[in-house]
Each structure stands twice: as structure tokens, then as C-alpha cells.
Structure 1
Amino acid sequence: MADIDTSRDQPTGAGRPAGRPNLTSGAIAPALLMFALPTLGSNILHSLNGSINAIWVGRYLGEGALAATSNANLIMFLMYAAVFGFGMAATILVGQSIGRGQVDGARRALGTAIGLLVGGAFVIAAIGWIFAPQLLRLLATPPAVQDLALVYLRVIFLAMPAAFLTVLLMMGLRGTGDSLTPLWFMALSTVLDSGLNPILIAGAGPIPAMGIAGSATATLIANLVGMGALLVTIYVRDLPIRLRGAEWRYLIPDPTLLRTILAKGAPLGLQMIVVSVSGLVSIGLVNRLGLVTTAAYGVALQLWTYIQMPALAVGAAVSAMAAQNIGAGRWDRIGSITRAGILINLCLTGGMVVVTTLVDRAVLGLFLANGSPAIAVAAHIHLIVGWSFVMFGITMVLFSTVRANGSVIAPLLILAVTLIPVRLGFAYGMMPRWGADAIWWSFPIGSAVSLVLAIGHYLRGSWRRGAMLVPAEASESALASGEVAGRDCPTR
């Protein structure tokens, strides 16, 4: 599709935060790669943290405890859908504001998101603590591990408010074009969490052995320390998202901004919920196949997190760069950003698939005792599913581009169709014939359908007519025309 040139409307860049990279001019592919690499590093550290913790749990407490954490972590993924959706909507607003040189608008958008979500995190944590047993039963958690999963899940719920705020701050920084600062604090949290896990699980000196609760407590401590350190750094370095003086009122959600964040964030959050529901139903099917298969699937999920990392990192970079260019009126660069993102994703994700397939048994053996029958099952699962993440990566880039201009309904519908009637329908329909393999083959089939539909939506181009609200003008309700500031938006 030919790109629409509205460069005559682009701002001069006045007001761009000092030291922030300029994503609206210059070579696209190198800038996109340099922005994506720190995000990839952050994602790898996050996954490495979970993997190391799984190693400690599996080695110290056995396969039952590992299956318990897998079930509990899927529930937490569902809880994080809200912070992702509304945080992503705020991040798009931040990026578009930075593209226009409107730093105050970026602060308004992020302040509204924090005011909305951090208070909500305390409510979710309280409700989650109370209803954790019911959640685990709905998940069909094996009775042998329900008590372990309950202990772990309840402590993890306590860590949620700090985790929510940290995620929002990191997303906000990436929206301004800073993907390096979040990397350092992800590293800090990873070191603390993975280092404290064996100490709190097994005990050391005066510290008593806490078992599986020790693993969750290590996560709680790491989240609190990481959040505090990140806040201190934001203010010491006077980073663009900091609030001072009268700006603290931005934490009281602006009604107009709040409507925009809710309208755009709800579908984004629902996308995560759809993914979560699909995952919960899948693990419910897996749980019925026995403890060995459940443990194998949990370990395969650990491996897949690494394969997904390039796609997620490049998608975040594409979204931030596209949002800033849309804010600056540089529609002439959007197609090139998308193509560069697809090419980088093919190289990085394809490379991860090849490497993890070649060494899958060695890596899988880190999580389980030598000779565990779950290793062979996990290797078989990965052989079927692993290559589908190449298609997933391309889909992520296309979705990230259209979301940068506020198109969130079509990606939601595409995911809902491909994950529920396609993927789960295939799994249920073919299990009588293929057994467990029907579950594993449903992944690449769903990914293929999702990719075809995503390409169709991108090429159709209707997403270019949408627009996000300008945060700097939210208090004046400057949304009368339905276009961003009434200009800079293609009419096509």
C-alpha cells in the first residue's frame, strides 16, 4: 500500500525531551533495531527470571510444585491484561505527544493511566486473595497441587500493585523513546528475584525454609525494590514522565483522557483476556492428560517465552516509532517502519526457533530432574509448536502498526476468532482422533489464520482513518472533529 504523505503538517520538534532519541527522522531500520534491542533485553531478563525461578522450584520442590506455579502464573497473566491494555493506550498517547513535542501531554496521559490502574491494582489484589481457591478450581488445577498453587498465588497477588506501577512507568518511558532505562531496572529485579528464590525456598542461616511461598515472596520483594529504585531514578534524572508541583493533579484522571484510554485500552485488555482464556482452556485440557504432560507443557511454555521475545520487542518498538511518526504527521514513514519490523522479526524470531529446536532437550532438562519422562514430551510439543512463532512475529508487527493510530477493534476480533473457534475448536474436534497432538497442532493452525487476517486488515487501510486524542488538549475536550487535533490525519 502506498503511504500517505502529510509531512507538510509535521511539527518542528520543539519541546522534544533532551536526550531522547528522535524516531521521526533518519534511517528507520537501524533506529528501530536499536530501540528494540534494549526492549528485547528486558523481555529476555523477565523470562529468564521466570525460568530461573522455575528451575529452583522444580529442583527443590519437584514436578508438583512446578505444575502449581504454571497454573498460578496463567491466572496472573489474566490479571495483567488490564494494565497492559490501558497502559498500551496511554503509551500510544505518550508517543504521539512526544512526536508533536508536547511533553506535558505525555505526562497527562500517563498520569491518568496511573491514577486509574494503581488504585485498581489494590482492589484486584484483595479480590484475588479472597477468591484464589475458586480461581484454581475453575482452572481444573490437579488436586495434588492445589494447596501449593494457592499459597504461591496469594503471595503473588500481594506483589501486584508494585508490579502494575513498574510496568506502567516502563511503558511510559518506552513511549518517550527510552527503552534503555527499563532494561536496567528489569536487570535489578531479575537479580533480586532469582537470587532470593533459593534462599527463601530452602532457607539459609536465620531465614526459615518457606517452600513455594518463598519463591513468591522473592518476587514480592524484587517488585517493591525495583519500583522504588525506578521512581528515584526518574526524579533524579528528571525524565520526561516525572510529575512535579501542579502536575501531580494529573494523577486524578482527566475525564476526556480517561474516556479515550478506556475506549482504546478496553479492547487491548480484552485481547490479553482472549489470549488468557485460550491459555486457561488449553491448560485445562492439558491438566486432564496427567501430571507428566502438565509438567511438560509448563516447561514448554518457559521455552516459548524466549521464542516470543523478539516478536514482542520489535512489536513494542514498531508501536512506539509509528506512534511518534503519526504524532509528527510523518505518514510517509509508516509503511517503511512496518516493513523494517517484519524483516527484523523474521531474522530474530527465526533464529530463536532454530536455536531452541537444536538444543531443546538440553534446555528442557534444566527444569526437570535427569531422566524425567516429561522432557521427551516437552521436546515433542516444542517440535510441533515452535515454528508457528515466526507467523506470530509478523502478526505482532502488523498489529503494532495499526494500534499506533488507535485501531484496536480489528486486532481484537482477529485474535478472538483465531484463538477460540479456530484454535480451541480444532483442539476439541480433533482430540478424539489425534489425542494430545490435537492441542499442539492447534497452535500453528491458529497462528496461520491470524496472520492471513492481519495482512488483510493492514492492506485494507481503514485503520489509517482513525485517530487518538491529543493529551495536551484533553482538558479542552479537543476531539470535536474525531481527528487528532483536527489535522495530521489522512482523510483516506
Structure 2
Amino acid sequence: MARNDLTTGPIATTLIAFALPTLGSNILQSLNGSINAIWVGRFLGEDALAATSNANIIMFLMFGAVFGFGMAATILVGQAWGRGDVMEARRAFGSAIGLVLASSIVVAALGFAFAHPILVALATPGPALPLAESYLRVIFLGLPASMMLVLAMMGLRGTGDSMTPLWFMILAVIFDAGLNPLLILGVGSFPRMGIAGSATATLIANGIAIAGLVGYMSWRKLPIRLSGADRAFIKPDPALVRLILAKGLPIGAQMLVISVAGLAMVGLVNREGVATTAAYGITLQLWGYVQMPALAIGAAVSAMAAQNIGANRWDRVSQITRAGLICNLAMTGVLVGAVMWFDRTTLGLFLAADSPSIPIGQHIAQIASWSFILFGATMVLFGTVRANGAVWGPLIILFVAMFPVRLGIALLARPALGADALWWSFPIGSTVTLIGAMLYYIYGPWRRGRLLPAEAPPVAQPAE
């Protein structure tokens, strides 16, 4: 257990050492999506690329519907691990598996059945609609395996292990990126599946990765493995189910708020034409890289804070938050600068040199990319407060920033600014979100109580 103990030692170096493998996993995941987009864009054209952009936004929406349970379980695992209660960590992990598996199967079935009307409601451009439907239906079929893989990785990070998820993310990326061109083009004995081949490659890759990870956890006897009698924990414990639902639903709702706002933005962008839709889709790919350090640092902060709260080390929680803010400023700032400086080069990886989408993508990136520095600071603050189960404050802040602010700016300023209103809504929304997160972190009630009962009286909580 000492090997993955995040409650002792220097905070900044421990945070970086934990965050870097998580960052590697996130970069690989984004790189995989970008490689797949390159295959689709080069082999099938801009209509297919616009189709995957629309379908991937919808998948993020579906993913958010069940993601909250996994995040709640990760917090429970972290607090139990901080207390040294391995069995409680396994119970929380098992209950989350039961809930997430059932939820993902239901979501996958509904998504498969209603893929077409969802895409129509999103105003997917006509030439891209049948392609998006073919792609989306296969992606939905692979949702349970994808969710199990994400949940297992999250559970391991709750115990302080961020290296094992990295190895199996590498495995998934190798299979996904390698199978994409084979299934799209029908190379050799592989069937020619077109855009559905890209989604099928993802399905196969995630299935192989989760099967391998489960086997590895059992073989290496990792702490939260569920073997022998512990498999009974997959039948959720009623008390843990209530706790996971109480915390997981608001966390999932946060994902849904972001997703619905993203869907609404895609609907507005789609009305600007296929070239703008393709440019926006590629820009989202680049932003995926920019936000990776923020997400990794936020996850590391949350895992470290949860373990320290579970161990009653409140004296370290504020230090962890400060270290996370500094790391985010340095790492995210470097990536924002790189994306804005090399924008034409990176856009040219996805599109032909004379594509009309390239100058549009450059314009979008120059206006909105810097807002991800603010986004990263917000993720650090939210990561800390969520580590003690505070989920409603972040949900309300996100809702206000996404809808009255971001979409309000995009709609109300459009007559004056045209399409630029869509791009300026990003930094304005991010500013409002960060201000809300700062106020909640300083003045909010998130320090009161804890998800798991403490075994010792709490130490004094320092002023922030």
C-alpha cells in the first residue's frame, strides 16, 4: 500500500509523478481520436469528418450519463484507501461496476435505436447524416466495454496507481489506430466498412483492453481486484448504491451540462456550413490536447485530496490545490502557445492544403484557445471540492456558465459579430466558470462532513 500512498511525502513532486501517467493516458486517447480523424478525413473526405464530429459529441453526451457513477466510486475508493480500508475500497469499486455496466447497456440500446432522430435534431448536414448514423450506431454498441475500461482505470487511480491505466491505454490505442485503415479500406482479408470501420476498430480495441486489464489485475493481485468471494461486490450494496447515486448523478449531470452545451454549439456551427463544421471539428481535436494537462492535474488533485481527506490530513489539502494550480498554469500555458503558433501546420494534418476549412480553423483557434488556461484552473478547484463529495456547487456553476452565459453570448451577439460570437463565447464562459469555482472553493461548505466516517477526530482545518 505504501507504494501508492498519496498522503505522505512532498506534495508537488508527488502530484506531478501521479499526474504524468494520467496525462500520458489522456494524450494517447486524444492522439488516437486524431489519428482516426486523419484516416477518416484523408480516405473519406470532409463530409465523413463532419459526421464523426457530430457523432462524437453525442457519444460524449451518452458517456456523461453514466460517467458520474464512476467518478463517485473513485472518490469513495480514494477516501477508503487513504484510511487503509482495502475491503471498503473493493466494495465501492464493485458496486460501481454493477451500476455502470447496467447503465451503459441501457444507454447503448437507446442510442442505437434513436441514432437517426438524434442526429436530425442536431441539424447534422444532409451529406453527413447517413455517414454519422452508420458511425454512431457501431460506437453505441461498444459503449459498455468503453465504460468498463474507463471505470477500471478510474478505480486504479483512486488507489494511487496511475501507471497501470497508462499501459492499457497504450494497448487500446495500438489496436484502434492500427485497425482503422484496415477496416475503413478493407485491406487484405478485412471487410471494407467505410466510416463504420473506424467505429468498429474502436469497439474491438476497447474490448481487448478491458479484457486484458481485468486479467492483469487478477494476475498481479492489485488491491481492488474482484476475485473469488469478492466478485459478490459486483451486486451493489444498497448503502453504497445510495451514496454513489447521490454523488454520481450530480457529477453525471455536470458532464451532461457540458455535453448539451456542446451539442447546442454544434447545432449553431452546423448552420454555418460544412466547411465551418469541419474546421470546428478539427479545432475540437486540437483543444482535446490543450485540455489534457488540465484534466490530468485535476484528476491527480482529486485523487490526492480524497486520500488525504480519508486519512484526516486536511493540512495537506490546500497545499495540493495550490500545487495543482501552478502546474496547470505552466503545462496548459505551453500547449496553448504551441497550438496558437502552429495552427496552420496542425490543421493541415487533417485537411488538404487548399481546404477552405483551414483559415476558418485558424481563426477559431486564435480567438478561443487561451480560455483553456482558465478551464484548467477550474478543473483543479472542482477536483478538490469533489474529493469530499461536494457536487452540487460545481453543477450549478457549470450550468450558469454554459447556458445563460456561453450560449447566451453565442446567440445574442451573433447579429453584431456573426460567427465570431460563437468563438468568443468560449473565453467569456470560461471566465465566469473560474470566478464561480474560486468563490465556491473559498466560501463554500464543501469542507463539512465526509463521504466515509473518519476513524479519528478530524484535525483542525486551516484557513485558505
Letter matched to residue 49 of structure 2: L
- Return the match for 1:93 from 62, 66, 76: 76
Of the three residues 278, 283, 289, the one matched with 2:266 is 283
The one-letter code of the counterpart of 1:228 is A
Separation of aligned partners in 2, 1:204 and 1:283? 33
Instruction: Map 1:218-233 to 2 at 5 A.
Output: 218-233=201-216
Judging changes above 3 Å, is the alpha-carbon distance between structure 1 residues 195 and 65 closer, same or farther for their aligned structure 2 residues?
Answer: same
Q: Once the 2 structures are TM-superposed, how far is the Cα of residue 485 of structure 1 from its aligned partner? A: 5.8
Give yes or no for contact 1:465–1:490 (8 Å, CA) kept in 2: no
1:98 Cα deviation after fit: 0.5
**Which residue of 2 is the match for residue 335 of structure 1?**
318
Q: What is the aligned partner in structure 1 of residue 458 from structure 2?
A: 488
TM-score (norm 1): 0.92
Is the Cα contact below 8 Å between 1:196 and 1:218 reproduced in 2?
A: yes
Matched, 1:302 2:272: no
Contact 1:464 1:490 in 2 (8 A): no
Residue 22 of structure 1 aligns with which residue? Answer: 5
Residue pairs, 1:159-198, within 5 angstroms: 159-198=142-181
Question: Unaligned 5+ residue runs, structure 1?
Answer: 1-16, 471-483
The CA distance in 2 between the partners of 1:286 and 1:317, in whole Å, is 34
The answer to whether the Cα contact below 8 Å between 2:315 and 2:461 also exists between their aligned partners in 1 is no
Q: Partner amino acid for 2:30? A: S
Secondary structure of 1:465's partner?
coil
Q: Which digits, 9 at most, give the CA deviation of each residue in 1:139-192, with x for residues without a partner? A: 111111110000000000111111111111000000000000000110111111
Aligned ranges 1:373-388 → 2 under 5 Å: 373-388=356-371
* Cα distance per residue 1:30-51 (max 9 Å; x no partner): 0000000000000000000000
CA RMSD of aligned residues (A): 1.3
User: Residue type of the partner of 2:262?
Assistant: G
How far off its partner does 1:117 sit? 1.0
Q: How far did 1:490 drift? A: 6.4
- 1:278, 1:419 within 8 Å by CA — same for their partners in 2? yes
Q: Is the 8 A contact 1:23 1:321 kept in 2?
A: yes
Give the secondary structure class of the aligned counterpart of 1:135: helix
8 Å CA contact 1:311–1:393 kept in 2: the answer is: yes
Distance 2:349 2:131 in 1: 21
State the alpha-carbon separation in 1 of the partners of residues 441 and 449 from structure 2. Answer: 13
Distance 2:254 2:444 in 1: 21
AA aligned opposite 2:323: A
* Deviating 4+ runs (over 6 angstroms): 489-492
CA distance in 2, matches of 1:272, 1:486: 35
Q: Distance in 1 between matches of 2:313 and 2:456?
A: 16
Question: Who is 1:32 aligned against?
Answer: 15
Identity of aligned residues (%): 62
Are 1:207 and 2:177 matched, yes or no? no
CA distance in 1 between counterparts of 2:134 and 2:227 reads 40
Amino acid at match of 1:488: P
2:66–2:103: 8 Å Cα contact kept in structure 1?
Answer: no
Q: After the TM superposition, which residues 143-158 of structure 1 pair with which residues of structure 2 at under 5 Å, given as runs?
A: 143-158=126-141
TM-score, L = length of structure 2 = 0.98
* DSSP-derived class of the 1:25 partner: coil
Whole-Å separation in 1 of the counterparts to 2:353 and 2:204 = 31
Q: Distance in 2 between matches of 1:301 and 1:455?
A: 26
Q: Hey, what's the Cα distance between the residues in 1 that align with 2:100 and 2:179?
A: 28
Distance in 2 (alpha carbons) for counterparts of 1:84 and 1:488: 31
Residues 142 and 203 in structure 2, CA contact (< 8 A), matched pair in contact too: yes
Indicate the SS of the match to 2:376: helix
Q: Aligned partners of 2:247, 2:458: CA distance in 1, in Å?
A: 20
Contact 2:7–2:313 under 8 Å retained in 1: yes
**Paired AA for residue 200 in structure 1:** L
1:109 aligns with 2:79: no
> Which amino acid counterpart does residue 396 of structure 1 have in structure 2?
M
User: In 2 relative to 1, CA 69–269 (structure 1 residues): closer, same or farther, beyond 3 Å?
Assistant: same
Distance, in Å, in 2 between the alignment partners of 1:488 and 1:42 is: 35
Q: For residues 165 and 181 of structure 1, what CA distance do their matches in structure 2 show? A: 15
Alpha-carbon offset, residue 205 of structure 1: 1.5
1:451 corresponds to which residue?
434
Check whether the contact 1:407–1:466 (CA below 8 A) recurs between aligned residues: no
Residue 252 (structure 2) aligns with: 269
Contact 1:257/1:469 (CA < 8 Å) preserved in 2? no
1:51 aligns to 2:34 (yes or no): yes
Q: d(CA) in 2 for partners of 1:303 and 1:220? A: 23
Q: Separation in 2 of the partners of 1:94 and 1:464?
A: 18
SS class of match (1:329) = coil
